Amino acid sequence: MPAQDERELRIVGFLCNWCSYGGADTAGVARFTQPTDLRIIRVPCSGRIDPLFVVRALLNGADGVLVSGCHPRDCHYAEGNFYARRRLEMLKRFLPITGIDERRFEYTWVSASEGQRWQHVVTEFTRRIHELGPAQSFNPATQEEWFNLALNEASKGEACACHGS
């Protein structure tokens, strides 16, 4: 379901089970208050996160996606976060090519003991997404909506050559 009201935006989090999910738990246990926009999906390792999950979330209308894993060298599976780092850095550089603002995506490292750091990461990222505002829709529901979108782009002079301006 999309965000409930305009005070909240839709932020999806992918967290590895061993460090960052634990860090988010630690933040909860310590009652470190955070914005409520974020919804967390638990995965075993940041190396399990397919960059296409992130893209899917953004295409589906997420306003922001946050990925967090164990600090480099601290991976529970020895090297999963190294794979994650390479894949996600590639994704970050690739996003603008697809027309998605790369600031809507961030990856970070938070260990299970860093509750305070998790609070900081969530607060900062949520603040950034709120500054960017709701994401532009990439998946119009109907043909008509799709057409309107193209027209809208065209009126801004940003449309591609084939659709004319």
Nearer to another protein, 106 or 114 (CB): 114
Nearer to another protein, 70 or 129 (CB): 70
Nearer to another protein, 108 or 111 (CB): 111
Q: What is the layout of strands, in order, in the sheet containing 38-43?
A: 38-43, 11-16, 64-69, 105-109
**Angle at the Cα of 135 from the Cα atoms of 131 and 136, rounded to 5 degrees:** 130
Nearer to another protein, 4 or 161 (CB): 4
What is the closest distance, in whole angstroms, from the C-beta atom of residue 127 to another protein in the complex?
A: 16
Half-sphere exposure of 60 (CA within 13 A, CB side): 14
The residue ranges that bind another protein (CB under 8 A) are 1-2, 4, 7-8, 10, 12, 17-19, 21-22, 24-25, 27-29, 31-36, 39-45, 47-50, 53, 56-57, 59-62, 70, 73-80, 83, 87, 111-114, 119, 139-141
Of 56, 52, 2, 48, the C-alpha closest to 21 is 48
Of 1, 5, 13, the C-alpha closest to 134 is 5
- Give backbone dihedrals phi and psi of 16, rounded to 5 degrees, phi first: -75, 145
What is the closest distance, in whole angstroms, from the C-beta atom of residue 155 to another protein in the complex?
A: 23
Nearer to another protein, 152 or 165 (CB): 152
Residue type, position 113, single letter:
S
What is the closest distance, in whole angstroms, from the C-beta atom of residue 56 to another protein in the complex?
A: 5
What is the closest distance, in whole angstroms, from the C-beta atom of residue 88 to another protein in the complex?
A: 11
Residue type, position 12, single letter:
V
What is the closest distance, in whole angstroms, from the C-beta atom of residue 131 to another protein in the complex?
A: 19
